[in-house]
Copies of this chain bind each other. A is one copy, B any other.
Amino acid sequence: MNREEKLTRIYEAALRVFARYGFRRTRVEDIADELGMTKGNLYLYVKDKRDLYEKAVSHGLLQWQAMVARSIEKIDDVCEQFLALCRKGYTYLSRDVSLRSVLINDPSIFPLSSREDQFAEINRASMDLLRSVLARGIREGRFREVDVDHLTELLYSIYVMFIIKTYVKSEGKSTQKMFEQGLDVVLQGLLKK
Contact = CB atoms under 8 A, between A and B. Distances in A.
The prevalent SS among residues of A at the interface is: helix
Interface residues of A, number: 2
Interface of A: 21, 25
A31 to B, nearest CB: 14
Contacts of A25: 21, 25
A26 to B, nearest CB: 9
A25 B25 CA distance: 6
A108 B50 CA distance: 34
Contacts of A21: 21, 25
A69 to B, nearest CB: 37
A170 to B, nearest CB: 17
3 contacts: A21-B21, A21-B25, A25-B25
A21 B21 CA distance: 8
A118 to B, nearest CB: 25
A138 B46 CA distance: 69
A113 to B, nearest CB: 29
A28 to B, nearest CB: 14
A25 B22 CA distance: 11
